[in-house]
Structure 1
Amino acid sequence: MLAALVLLPAPAMAQQKAANKKLYCWDQDGQRVCADTLPAEAAGMARDEISASSGMRTGQVQRALTPEERAALAEEEQRRQLDAMAEETRRRTEQAMLITFQDENELRRVFSERVTLVENSIETARYNVASLREGLVTLLRTAAERELAGKPVAEKLAADIRQRHAQLLYHQLLQRNFERQRAALDGEIEATLERYRALKSGTTAAAPATAAAQ
């Protein structure tokens, strides 16, 4: 293969290089921009990669996530982990409740980590809601002052207000979900303890009957 590359005529190599050349197209300030090199300011934007020879799209790159979007993804992942932990806890308590736990205190400790995680998630969500609300109030106040002064509200300011409002609604929803999880967890703990007591009582009652039969 090396020998073939060395013997490849210069025009053929130029054609191959041209065939591999790509164009980058992205939206910037409401306009479609295309170039054969990607400037630094466009590196985080969504873009299409197009073959310069065929004009066909060969790839697509999504825009970089904002810090708020990364935080939302992290919270969503935490929610999935909490759900997985809930399922695992239910499975464990049903399969090995009597064998594993000598008394109710040991059983309660199984739930302690989940309780801590949910309560921490609630506190984080409350902090985010308060911070986003404060920022939104500031943006709305700025827009109101401009309108009262007879000045137009800049498009960037209006876009920031819409974005902040959407983020606030999302984090309020997360907070309500975490609070529902916490309330449901109390019910789950009590139901599990009742189940444990019933199993324990049944085992205790079965022991004398087995001994009498022997």
Structure 2
Amino acid sequence: MIAAALVLLPATVVAQKGKPPEKGAKKLYCWDQDGQRVCADALPSEAAGRKREEISARSGMRTAEVQGELTPEERAAQAEEESRKRLEAMAEESRRLTEQALLSTFDSEDDLRRVFAERVTLVDNSIETARYNITSLREGLVSLLRTAAERELSGQKVPDKLAADIRQRHAQLLYHQLLQRNFERQRAALGEEIESTLERYRALKGTPAGRDAAATQ
């Protein structure tokens, strides 16, 4: 282990973009462990899944940055982000289709409403999932805070891990609350989009509001 190696490296050097490593050149591995920066000339097995930097021992330049394995929370956040992007892509595609084929494709308002049905379901499900996650995270945070408070009241020190867990759980709670508000805004905007599209359809068809186009034929 070369624990002091990072101290010898200028901060400006560590922050530079990586360069291709020289063939056969020795390098240092640096990662965060238990709130501290650790550097070594060999990567132990327990650090293999962590996010780390690889630094040339010869030049002091960063040669690579390896992303660590995702935690369950990070995987959940990634899945929700992909869901958000998928919803946005579906929204754009739906708008394109309704503008191009509003009259030629749909014989009735019911046909037009079915275009939006999948989007409505996805957004509603996303809102419910966010609410469930918020409830679960809030309950977990309250439990952690209660444990920390009991230790303080009994004159004991709050362990660093417990304090870190509280901070992490609070950050997750704020993130999912933001997601819920975002999904709720999407749902409100979707409702407005459906109504405005139906109004355009009725105007183009000459159909009074609330009546199916076929009923006027």
| 1:179 aligned to which of 176, 181, 184 | 184
Q: CA deviation at 1:127?
A: 0.8
Assess, with a 3 A threshold, how the Cα gap between structure 1 residues 30 and 85 changes in structure 2: closer, same or farther. Answer: closer
Q: Which residue of structure 1 lines up, in the alignment, with residue 95 of structure 2?
A: 90
Q: Which residue of structure 2 lines up, in the alignment, with residue 165 of structure 1?
A: 170
User: Is 2:110 the partner of 1:105?
Assistant: yes
Q: Which residue of structure 1 lines up, in the alignment, with residue 34 of structure 2?
A: 29
Code of the residue aligned with 2:42 in structure 1: it is: T
- Contact persistence 1:19–1:52 (CA under 8 A): no
How far does the alpha carbon of each residue in 1:120-142 deviate from its partner, in whole angstroms, 9 at most, with x for none?
10111011001100100100110
How far does the alpha carbon of each residue in 1:109-154 deviate from its partner, in whole angstroms, 9 at most, with x for none?
0000001100110111011001100100100110111111111111
Q: Which residue of structure 1 lines up, in the alignment, with residue 50 of structure 2?
A: 45
Code of the residue aligned with 1:101 in structure 2: it is: F
Cα RMSD, aligned residues only: 1.9
User: Is 2:39 the partner of 1:68?
Assistant: no
Q: Which residue of structure 1 lines up, in the alignment, with residue 147 of structure 2?
A: 142
**For this pair of structures, how many residues does the alignment match?**
186
Q: TM-score, normalised by structure 1?
A: 0.80
How far does the alpha carbon of each residue in 1:136-183 deviate from its partner, in whole angstroms, 9 at most, with x for none?
010011011111111111111111111101110110111111112112
Larger displacement relative to structure 2 (49-58 or 138-147): 49-58
How far does the alpha carbon of each residue in 1:8-66 deviate from its partner, in whole angstroms, 9 at most, with x for none?
xxxxxxxxx99433332223334443333211111122222133444433212133322
Q: TM-score, normalised by structure 2?
A: 0.79
* Greater C-alpha Rg: 1
TM alignment of 1:96-135, pairs within 5 A:
96-135=101-140
Q: What percentage of aligned pairs have identical amino acids?
A: 77
Q: Which residue of structure 1 lines up, in the alignment, with residue 213 of structure 2?
A: none
Larger displacement relative to structure 2 (47-56 or 191-200): 47-56
Assess, with a 3 A threshold, how the Cα gap between structure 1 residues 104 and 30 changes in structure 2: closer, same or farther. Answer: closer
User: Is 2:194 the partner of 1:194?
Assistant: no
- Contact persistence 1:19–1:51 (CA under 8 A): no
Distance 2:192 2:39 in 1: 58
- Contact persistence 1:18–1:53 (CA under 8 A): no
Code of the residue aligned with 2:48 in structure 1: it is: A
Distance 2:155 2:169 in 1: 24
Code of the residue aligned with 2:76 in structure 1: it is: A
Structure 1: 4+ residue segments shifted above 6 A = none
Distance 1:57 1:185 in 2: 47
